[in-house]
Amino acid sequence: MVQNEHILLVVDAFTDEPFKGNPAAVCVIPEGDQYPPDEWLLSFGKEMNLSETAFIRARPGGDGFDLRWFTPGLEVKLCGHATLASAHALWELGLLAAGETAVFHSRWSGVLTATRDGEGWMELDFPVRRITEKTPPAGAIEALGAEPAEVVFGEHAYYAIFENESQVRALTPDFTALSVFDPVEQLEGIVATAPGDDPGVDFVSRFFASPAGIDEDPVCGSAHCALAPLWAARLGKAEFNARQVSARGGILRVRLDGERVKIAGLAVTVTRGCVVAAPTHGQPV
């Protein structure tokens, strides 16, 4: 690594095994540099072709880090696994001390923090996404290929509630049908969820995010900002062990705390390098 280059890591989040969990690219912009133009950020997200690419930059005066997230198709307002990956990257690169809290300033979701315990578990502090009643667009639920027991809305996605885990695992959505729904209309996708079958697993989920350019997000941390209040109302508790049952799979510890949701997980780095096509100038955040 040389001074003033953009460091790049690929981190598997919500797992301690390489090639499991949800991979995120983390691009660390050199201190003092401005953010590259939005067109470059989106193009880089497309180039990475992961469910999320995070861009982090140290703020002046040691006031934490700016953080933005891009899918291959758009910039999103909140992302859990890429925030977990970003905090992991800062500690691994020595940009944060071992016991120091990671403080991220986001454009739309306010200040987000991450802390780490002695066993490597990192806990994110995120805002609650409240569950409301809202009619899904025509054809959205049908595109799942199975009829849920109930459908609610959680600020960014619809939540299809099934009776058991087997139903969620068996879903084979029509991604072409799902992809026509516009994320600008607050529809990033559909989350399918059900009680967990295994002892010690409170609930499971899968996230189909075709409108955001991702057929299935392997492990979506931000979806748990709505899953926490959803399952708190049904199970009468505030702390959960959650499992995302995608092909890669992932484990999360989730805790509802008033208007915040604490989401904990592990992470492992699989790639480290630098960006050689980084722009030489940028724009203010």
52 given a catalytic annotation: yes
Q: For residue 128, is it left (φ>0), alpha (ψ between -120 and 50) or beta?
A: beta
Phi, psi (deg, nearest 5) at residue 85: -65, -35
Q: What is the spatial distance between Cα 176 and Cα 112, in angstroms, rounded to a whole number? A: 34
CA pair distance 131, 89, nearest whole angstrom: 32
**Active-site position among 17, 31, 52, 147:** 52
**Block residue for tokens 């690419």:** 53
Token digits of residue 137: 């667009």
CA triple 184-189-193, angle to 5 deg? 150
How far is the C-alpha of 223 from the C-alpha of 212, rounded, in Å?
14
- Determine the Cα–Cα distance for residues 242 and 1; give it in Å rounded to an integer: 38
DSSP secondary structure string, 160-217?
EE-SSHHHHHT----HHHHTTS-GGGT--EEEEEEE-SSTT--EEEEEEEGGGTEEEE
User: How far apart (Å, rounded) are the C-alpha atoms in residues 40 and 279?
Assistant: 8
Burial of 99: CB neighbours in 10 Å, binned 0-12, 13-18, 19+:
exposed
| Angstrom distances, CA of residue 116 to CA of 101, 140, 198, 230, 251 | 8, 38, 27, 26, 16
Catalytic residues: 52
